[in-house]
Amino acid sequence: MMTSKGSNKSIASVVTGGAGFLGSHLCDRLLAEGQYVICIDNLITGETSNIAHLLGHEHFRFINHDITNYIFIDETVNNVLHFASPASPIDYLKLPIQTLKVGSLGTHKALGLAKAKGARFLLASTSEVYGDPQVHPQPESYWGNVNPIGYRGVYDEAKRFSEAMTMAYHRYHGVDTRIARIFNTYGPRMRINDGRAIPAFMSQALRGEDVTVFGDGSQTRSVCYVDDMIEGIYRLLMSDVVEPINIGNPDEIPIVQLAKEIIELTGSNSKIVFKELPEDDPKVRQPDISKARKLLMWAPKINRKEGLKRTLEYFRQKLLVPESVK
């Protein structure tokens, strides 16, 4: 399909969802490690602006493709990292079928590619596999509390299926697999309108609009800065750990407090308004990262204040310029 552009690449990685928030940061990291990167994305929630800086890079190739369909790659591939999926509640409410398809058919195709190439496979799984958890904090051994027919079920169940499929390919086909259970992550390249708490609060505060807290805001999340997350994922890829590993920052905070901190950081006059809590919104969430500490020797390093500052800088810039055209 493509010939080498004379690069001295030694390791080649395919990143599905490579134009998304996490996917594009992952492409950056793999390129920085000297790898050759093939980024696959159909741009339904990914954005070319996230990879625009990589398009001329001789070790980088972009393929506009929906990973739920068969893909042929006529090159050596050492790693397949499957990050394609709508990933915010608003996105998967809007795209329920696509979310189910990319988690099921897409994971099947990505695993098939890894098997055909003899490549290592890393699945971007999620804390949503724990649903609205009854065990707190959540260790990997917890099986979760998910409503299969609720609005969030399309994402949660697709990711649970992805994990099952990944383990089946590992056990039956001997594919070398990794499963990262990714907890809430934030940072530059999140979409302003993806509906998640941090971009929503930051853009509302920067525009001087009301900041919308759902429910009474007592529900908690534990937020991880993107650079820490990418380091954890890279370490997992390089490890020999097949079992699922939580990657996230245990720094837990009620959502209303997060909203207050963001308003204060922006220096905005915005007021908090309370809106209806979405269905099945988890009441608490905090990763138990003992395994990642022990097996990957990884722990997050960037504290919330610093992470929020860096992210705010990105949104300030972004709000001054029009959204990129896809």
Task: Kindly state whether residue 209 participates in binding ligand UDP, applying the rule CB under 6 A.
Answer: no
Stretch that binds ligand UDP, among 39-47, 165-173, 210-218, 224-232 (CB under 6 A): 210-218
Distance in Å, CB of 82 to ligand UDP, minimum: 19
Select 11 or 93, whichever has its Cβ closest to ligand UDP: 93
Q: Which stretch binds ligand UDP (CB under 6 A): 67-75, 209-217, 233-241, 260-268?
A: 209-217
Nearer to ligand UDP, 168 or 277 (CB): 277
Least gap, CB of 274 to ligand UDP (angstroms): 9
Contact flags string 212-241 toward ligand UDP, x per CB under 6 A: xxx----x-x--------------------
Q: Does the annotation count 155 as an active-site position?
A: yes
8 A C-beta contact, residue 177 and residue 244: no
Which of 114, 129, 190, 255: binder of ligand UDP (CB under 6 A)?
255
* Closest to 192 (Cα-Cα) out of 67, 21, 25, 38: 21
Binding site for ligand UDP (CB under 6 A): 88-89, 184, 195-197, 200, 212-214, 219, 221, 255, 278, 281
Query: Which residues are designated catalytic?
Result: 155
